[in-house]
């Protein structure tokens, strides 16, 4: 075959321009979105801050001082004030980012894995299996997410593991629903029909044809849940259902500082501001990803 | 319409059944015995057995569930372990209080959200659109319990205009519609309204932008209709979906009010749930969650039915 071509008259082959891949396009569109890039940088900064908390924080977040309780913002040695036990707020906020980020990302990631498996299976196999699975999902969907999280955490009892578990359960149904609806759309595509006609088995079709087309939209949807997860997790801690003191966590800090709003109102409001900044950055980043990856809905 | 109605109701029955199973099991996924919180640590085995019999915890689970469901259907949600009072009465009183601020919050959120969404959708791409869209993102990103705290700091601690929490001098039992009582509702209701506001603004913006792109709009203009006339048509087309979103948001607020009620010490379902959790009063927890979830399920069906009545396209789906 090659010999024939080589023996033929020299053909001038124009240099093949490498067609830019899908991800190149996504990155090009994302780069143009200034808001999303800014939000991404903020998220990156918060992640770095959490990872290197031990080096970044100016003081020990658990060292208390009865003499320096509830100092205002700007006190020498306490740039963001001191909390109700005289601990440095700045250091506590920096260390608190660890648990808040963890509780924002991990439940969503676990739910992403389980929800995708459930949803893709239900969407791909359809029929009775779909009906039974999706009706079960609907039962959990019948609870507002805050109520479901509080109900599960309340029954299981306080603690970080239980919060993690209940938040994961809260996010599986919405992710499974999205996964099911995208998979049902992809399943009726001609290329899936063609693959089936050429003898590919179910697993191959799912792996090669379905997953590549459904994971993007599911992933984008899941990233929009990160801020919800963070707000809910902090809310559980705020109710006393999450972490236990003295661990620095933004929701718990907000709870213990609630009584201080008459003494140092703005110091008491700081942990909530940290939650707000992080959650809005994640939301804007997720919105940017959605338009860059051109996901509808 | 009748077949649509029947379909919706048939669809919701298994979901409602599933919800009740979940609420029932809630007590049993809890670690330890549901009675551990009331029993003194040195309770004798005989005493434990007797109490277990009184509460019915000695029977097999399916039997317990059947009896519990039968009673719940008759409006009996059991007895609170902590107070010894019937759960149903406590829940109903609390639901009334929560409904009061949730309704107010939904109305505020709907009016403001529709306004911003409409402006954004009508002047798409303009400065107003960017502003309204930003406001919507803020609304869904803000931790509302923190917003409540900030409201208290600004309007109660610093300005001293409004009370920081509670339900007025007479409490919820002696509620009167006067300024003294209403002033207690304002901060929680405004705080709560931020979430539906953001979501409704997003929905209405998308709806309006979509409707303005449809063919009938240039047709109306070609017919010589002025801006106000076109506006009327857009509102008519956007209303069913916007109202449906509003109805669902009311449901979310009813169930999600716990954090805001804690901040403002508002004596609603959230407050009740908080008590139930800290006293490990599982029947109270179970009853409150059952009522709230059923409210949400019922509201969903109601919204679907109303949407079907308003918009014939929905019925054919």
Average confidence (pLDDT) over A235-257: 81
Inter-chain residue contact B137 with A287, CB threshold 8 Å? yes
Strand partners, B79: B86
Inter-chain residue contact A239 with B26, CB threshold 8 Å? no
pLDDT band at A17 (very low <50, low <70, confident <90, very high): low
So what's the pLDDT on residue B278? 79
Q: Chain B 266-305, CB below 8 Å of chain A: which residues?
A: 273-274, 276-278, 282, 285, 289, 292-293, 296-297, 300
Q: Chain B 134-173, CB below 8 Å of chain A: which residues?
A: 137-138, 140-143, 145-147, 149-150, 152-153, 157-158
| Min distance B186 CA to chain A CA atoms (Å) | 19
The whole-angstrom separation of Cα B57 and Cα A110 is: 34
Residues from chain A that touch B15, judged by Cβ atoms under 8 A, are 135, 138-139, 142
For A117-132, what is each residue's pLDDT tens digit? 998 888 888 788 888 8
* Number of residues assigned to chain B: 317
Number of cross-chain residue pairs from A and B with Cβ atoms under 8 Å apart: 132
| Min distance B98 CA to chain A CA atoms (Å) | 14
Inter-chain residue contact B146 with A269, CB threshold 8 Å? yes
List the single range of A16-25, A237-246, B210-219 with lowest mean pLDDT: A16-25
pLDDT band at B271 (very low <50, low <70, confident <90, very high): confident
User: Which of B17, B140, B145 to mutate to test binding with chain A, by most A CBs within 10 Å of its CB?
Assistant: B145
Average confidence (pLDDT) over A206-232: 85
Task: Please say if the pLDDT value at position A59 is more than 80.
Answer: no
* More confident of the two residues A230 and A21: A230
Residues from chain A that touch B277, judged by Cβ atoms under 8 A, are 150, 154, 239, 241
For A130-141, what is each residue's pLDDT tens digit? 888 888 888 888
So what's the pLDDT on residue A296? 56
Task: Please say if the pLDDT value at position B168 is more than 70.
Answer: no
- Across the interface, which of A147, A156, A234 has its CB nearest the CB of B143? A234
**What percent of chain B shows pLDDT beyond 90?**
0
So what's the pLDDT on residue A111? 92
- Taking the alpha carbons at both ends of chain B, their separation in whole angstroms is 12
**What percent of chain B shows pLDDT beyond 70?**
85
Strand partners, A82: A88
Average confidence (pLDDT) over A4-33: 68
Rg (CA), chain A: 25
A149: nearest CA in chain B? B256
B219: exposed, middle or buried (C-beta count within 10 Å: 0-12, 13-18, 19+)? exposed
Residues from chain A that touch B26, judged by Cβ atoms under 8 A, are 151-152, 155
The whole-angstrom separation of Cα A26 and Cα A43 is: 19
* More confident of the two residues A275 and A264: A275
Task: Please say if the pLDDT value at position B133 is more than 70.
Answer: yes
The encoded tokens of residue A201 equal 């088995």
So what's the pLDDT on residue A9? 58
The whole-angstrom separation of Cα A255 and Cα B186 is: 22
* More confident of the two residues A78 and B15: B15
Q: Where are the domains of chain A?
A: 51-57+80-293
The whole-angstrom separation of Cα B298 and Cα B12 is: 8
pLDDT band at A297 (very low <50, low <70, confident <90, very high): very low
Q: Which CATH superfamily is domain A51-57+80-293 in?
A: MetI-like (1.10.3720.10)
Q: Residue A191's CB: how many other CB atoms inside 10 A?
A: 12
So what's the pLDDT on residue A2? 46
Vertex B294: Cα angle to B298 and B175 (nearest 5):
95
Q: Are A5 and A13 in contact (CB under 8 A)?
A: no
Average confidence (pLDDT) over B280-300: 84
Three-state DSSP at A82 gives strand
- Taking the alpha carbons at both ends of chain A, their separation in whole angstroms is 49
List the single range of A57-61, A283-287, B39-43, B250-254 with lowest mean pLDDT: B39-43
| Min distance B248 CA to chain A CA atoms (Å) | 10
So what's the pLDDT on residue A171? 92
Inter-chain residue contact A261 with B15, CB threshold 8 Å? no
So what's the pLDDT on residue A1? 45
Instruction: Please name which of A258, A262, A269 lies closest in space to residue B160, comparing C-alpha atoms.
Output: A262
Q: Are A193 and A209 in contact (CB under 8 A)?
A: no
Contact status of A277 with chain B (Cβ, < 8 Å): no
So what's the pLDDT on residue A106? 92
Contact status of B251 with chain A (Cβ, < 8 Å): yes
**What percent of chain A shows pLDDT beyond 90?**
6
The whole-angstrom separation of Cα A280 and Cα B94 is: 33
The encoded tokens of residue B122 equal 């009508």
Residues in contact with B212: Cβ distance below 8 Å, sequence separation at least 6, in sequence order: B121, B122, B124, B234
What's the complex ipTM? 0.80
The encoded tokens of residue B185 equal 């509702």
| Min distance A209 CA to chain B CA atoms (Å) | 29
The whole-angstrom separation of Cα A55 and Cα B50 is: 59
CA distances from A10 to A2, A15, A96 (A): 13, 15, 68
pLDDT band at A86 (very low <50, low <70, confident <90, very high): low
Residues from chain A that touch B158, judged by Cβ atoms under 8 A, are 265
Quickly tell me which residue has 């109303």 as its tokens. Answer: B306
Q: Are B299 and B247 in contact (CB under 8 A)?
A: yes
The whole-angstrom separation of Cα A32 and Cα A48 is: 24
For A145-196, what is each residue's pLDDT tens digit? 888 888 888 888 778 888 899 999 999 999 998 888 888 888 888 888 888 8
- Across the interface, which of A145, A154, A238 has its CB nearest the CB of B277? A154
The encoded tokens of residue B87 equal 């759960």
So what's the pLDDT on residue A8? 54
């Amino acid at each position: 075959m090659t010999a024939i071509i080589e023996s033929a008259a020299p053909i001038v082959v124009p240099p093949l321009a490498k067609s830019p891949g899908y991800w190149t396009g996504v990155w090009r569109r994302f780069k143009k979105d200034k808001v999303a890039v800014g939000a991404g940088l903020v998220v990156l900064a918060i992640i770095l801050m959490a990872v290197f908390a031990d080096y970044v924080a100016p003081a020990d977040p658990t060292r208390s001082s009865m003499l320096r309780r509830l100092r205002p913002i700007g006190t020498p040695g306490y740039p963001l004030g001191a909390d109700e036990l005289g601990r440095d707020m700045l250091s506590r906020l920096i260390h608190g980012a660890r648990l808040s980020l963890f509780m924002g990302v991990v439940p969503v990631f676990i739910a992403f894995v389980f929800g995708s498996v459930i949803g893709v299976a239900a969407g791909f196999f359809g029929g009775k299996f779909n009906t039974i699975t999706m009706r079960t999902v609907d039962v959990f969907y019948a609870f507002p997410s805050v109520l479901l999280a509080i109900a599960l955490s309340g029954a299981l009892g306080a603690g970080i593991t239980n919060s993690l578990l209940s938040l994961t359960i809260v996010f599986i149904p919405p992710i499974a629903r999205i996964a099911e609806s995208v998979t049902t759309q992809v399943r009726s595509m001609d290329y899936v029909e063609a693959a089936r006609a050429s003898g590919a088995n179910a697993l191959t079709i799912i792996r090669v044809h379905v997953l590549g087309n459904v994971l993007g939209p599911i992933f984008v949807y899941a990233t929009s849940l990160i801020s919800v997860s963070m707000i809910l997790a902090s809310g559980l801690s705020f109710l006393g259902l999450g972490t236990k003191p003295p661990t620095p966590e933004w929701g718990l800090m907000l709870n213990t500082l609630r009584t201080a709003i008459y003494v140092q109102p703005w110091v008491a409001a700081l942990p909530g501001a940290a939650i707000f900044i992080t959650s809005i950055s994640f939301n804007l980043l997720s919105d940017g990803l959605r338009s860059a990856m051109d996901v509808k809905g | 319409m009748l077949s649509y109605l029947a379909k919706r109701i048939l669809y919701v029955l298994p979901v409602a059944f599933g919800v009740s199973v979940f609420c029932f099991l809630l007590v049993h996924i809890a670690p330890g015995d549901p009675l551990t919180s009331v029993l003194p640590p040195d309770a004798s085995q005989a005493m434990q057995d007797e109490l277990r019999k009184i509460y019915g915890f000695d029977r097999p689970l399916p039997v317990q569930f059947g009896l519990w469901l039968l009673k719940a259907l008759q409006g009996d949600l059991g007895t609170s372990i902590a107070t010894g009072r019937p759960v149903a009465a406590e829940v109903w009183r609390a639901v009334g209080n929560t409904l009061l601020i949730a309704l107010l919050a939904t109305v505020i959120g709907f009016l403001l959200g529709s306004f911003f969404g409409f402006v954004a959708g009508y002047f798409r791409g303009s400065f107003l659109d960017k502003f309204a869209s930003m406001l919507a993102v803020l609304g869904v990103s803000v931790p509302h319990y923190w917003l409540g705290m900030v409201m208290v700091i600004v309007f109660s601690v610093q300005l001293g205009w409004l009370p920081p929490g509670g339900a007025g001098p007479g409490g919820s039992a002696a509620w009167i519609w006067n300024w003294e009582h209403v002033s207690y509702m304002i901060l929680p209701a405004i705080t709560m309204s931020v979430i539906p506001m953001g979501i409704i603004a997003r929905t209405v913006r998308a709806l309006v932008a979509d409707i303005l792109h449809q063919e009938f709009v240039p047709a109306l203009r070609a017919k010589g209709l002025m801006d106000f006339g076109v506006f009327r048509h857009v509102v008519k087309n956007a209303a069913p979906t916007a109202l449906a979103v509003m109805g669902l948001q009311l449901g979310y607020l009813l169930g999600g009010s716990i954090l805001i009620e804690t901040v403002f010490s508002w004596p609603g379902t959230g407050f009740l749930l908080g008590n139930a959790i800290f006293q490990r009063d599982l029947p109270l927890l179970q009853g409150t969650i059952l009522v709230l979830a059923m409210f949400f399920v019922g509201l969903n069906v109601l919204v679907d039915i109303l949407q079907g009545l308003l918009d014939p396209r929905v019925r054919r789906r």
